[in-house]
Structure 1
């Protein structure tokens, strides 16, 4: 899953693709590099990020989704917490609703059921403004799994097809380094819940905490690839990344090594 952030403040590439031509050009490059699907977002969810109005988010993402769909059949997910934005995005040609709130907004489960699209339910403790304020868990893997399955049942009760639901453990969303590492190390337990799992840790600050030399997002490719390979070994269905070509090469090499065993 290649990332297209149409925002001024995303942690990795905020502002680079805020204008439609730049965002569409970036999407084309990700497709050319081998992305299997694209994730289009118009509101940053980095720690401390300020909310964006519905009108602004729509103005950012809808023209880009329409432009991509006009020239490509690649699956598109819309990264939004807002049901109205998800509805407009699906109508514009998106296929998947990627929701960091796990359909927690009012009317979100009912909207997802009505749209009939695939839905990615992500785990987040609190909201982007507060999620890193001393997050605590009894057992992070069990707690995250239990919360995600609660959201699955809420979605199914509203009419969302169970087979349309993906899970995302939310690496970096309301989690300290030790929480993130435990989730990645035990990703197989989340895969075992019976839903496709999306893993996203690309360029995140957890890598800087392991290697202080990764001071900027651009300095974290090696750590990003390490997480991807661990997730692939655990059986995740997709990885959300900024560096598509390098990620594909790492996965292809790991697969070749496994095939030679």
Structure 2
């Protein structure tokens, strides 16, 4: 019987809503990832941009500089790594460093090049999340007529677009958040 894999979140941001920025330094990030692995986490999800409500965006270059060294180190110790990003260039850099998953909170809506990147990397899994806007707008767009039907419809649309972009259905993992 297959078991559910556990993904541990590693935010390399000074303003993380989950940990308050405790793992912003390279050393602290690696130490925390090793702790999570020893606790049984299967995948380390590395993020370099906060997506908490109201969070300010960071530049693409800053995001890459935060995450790629950590991804590289974690892959070198045998960890399964996911990159948490809405940007195809950050995802591409992390895939180049060995990431096996792309966790995109925008479901590809923030960067039209994301689907093509995933389609060119058939061994990479794509976590497609339901999304209605960037952190500075998300609360304004959180009204639903029927939340279950609306989220299902919007995720169905995302999956259809991914398939149209030649992303394999075997690569797609849906996140309902």
Question: Under a length normalisation based on structure 1, what TM-score does the superposition of the two structures give?
Answer: 0.63
Q: Is the 8 A contact 2:45 2:81 kept in 1?
A: yes
Residue in structure 1 matched with residue 88 of structure 2 by the alignment: 83
Q: Cα deviations across residues 183-209 of structure 1 (Å, max 9, x unaligned)? A: xxxxxxxxxxxxxxxxxxxxxxxxxxx
CA distance in 1, matches of 2:30, 2:103: 19
CA distance in 1, matches of 2:141, 2:44: 32
CA distance in 1, matches of 2:166, 2:61: 27
Whether 1:127 aligns to 2:152 is no
Secondary structure of 1:115's partner? Answer: coil
Residue in structure 2 matched with residue 93 of structure 1 by the alignment: 98
Secondary structure of 2:118's partner? Answer: helix
Of 39, 48, 61, 2:45 maps to: 39
Residue in structure 2 matched with residue 136 of structure 1 by the alignment: 143
Residue in structure 1 matched with residue 125 of structure 2 by the alignment: 118
CA distance in 2, matches of 1:4, 1:111: 23
Of 60, 68, 73, 1:62 maps to: 68
User: Can you give the 5+ residue segments of structure 2 that lack an aligned partner in the other structure?
Assistant: 1-6
CA distance in 2, matches of 1:165, 1:102: 10
Larger Rg, first or second structure (1 or 2): 1
Whether 1:102 aligns to 2:107 is yes
Moved over 3 A (4+): none
Cα displacement (A) at 1:38: 0.9
- Greater helix proportion: 1
CA distance in 2, matches of 1:160, 1:75: 21
CA distance in 2, matches of 1:38, 1:142: 31
CA distance in 2, matches of 1:70, 1:34: 18
User: Can you give the 5+ residue segments of structure 1 that lack an aligned partner in the other structure?
Assistant: 171-261
